[in-house]
Amino acid sequence: MKKGFTVVELIVSFSLVMVIAIFLFQIVIGLKNLYTNSGLKTELLNKQSLISNEINKKLTTKEISTLSKCGSYCVEFLYSDGTSDKMTIDYTNNTIEFGNYKTNLPEDSYIKDAKISQANAATFQTYADNALLIIEIPIYNDNFSEQNFGIKAIYQFNDQLSNLAVVDFTA
């Protein structure tokens, strides 16, 4: 009686080991992609939160007296206390700047058409805040299809006591 493995037994065992190795390799690749995407998503959400917080902090503590254009993709907020902040969007370098805060977006992220719009509600009370100034900066990333990581800030004011004209971000 001969001891050892036949060629068929060796081929079958080698094939089984290869199938198991391929499955394990696919699991490792999937986990790596999951880890990378979750890190990227966390970074995008953190940047969204930080810039939104900076804008909302100013809009809730100060009263905007005037909006004016200060260059291509730049809007200046003049406050009633005499101070001001500039909001600049750099589409080429994927940066957003508001006041002293500037953030760079992660790789494969891009800013779509930012806009400042105004919505009014009819009211008979002259002292009531009856208008909204809406700041929208949509931010997308190629790794997350159509998920908007953008900024949306809303400022409520009285359009009868303020003169806030809508300023277009375009060049």
DSSP state of 15: H
pTM attached to this predicted model: 0.75
CA 50 to chain centre: 10
Provide the greatest CA pair distance for the chain: 107
Question: Predicted confidence band at 65 (pLDDT cuts at 50, 70, 90)?
Answer: confident
Q: Are 116 and 124 in contact (CB under 8 A)?
A: no
Question: Predicted confidence band at 130 (pLDDT cuts at 50, 70, 90)?
Answer: confident
Starting at the earlier edge strand, list the strands of the sheet with 95-98: 64-71, 74-79, 84-90, 95-98, 101-104
Residue 20 reports pLDDT greater than 90:
yes
Question: Predicted confidence band at 162 (pLDDT cuts at 50, 70, 90)?
Answer: confident
Among 1-10, 34-43, 83-92, 141-150, whose mean pLDDT is lowest?
1-10
Question: Predicted confidence band at 159 (pLDDT cuts at 50, 70, 90)?
Answer: confident
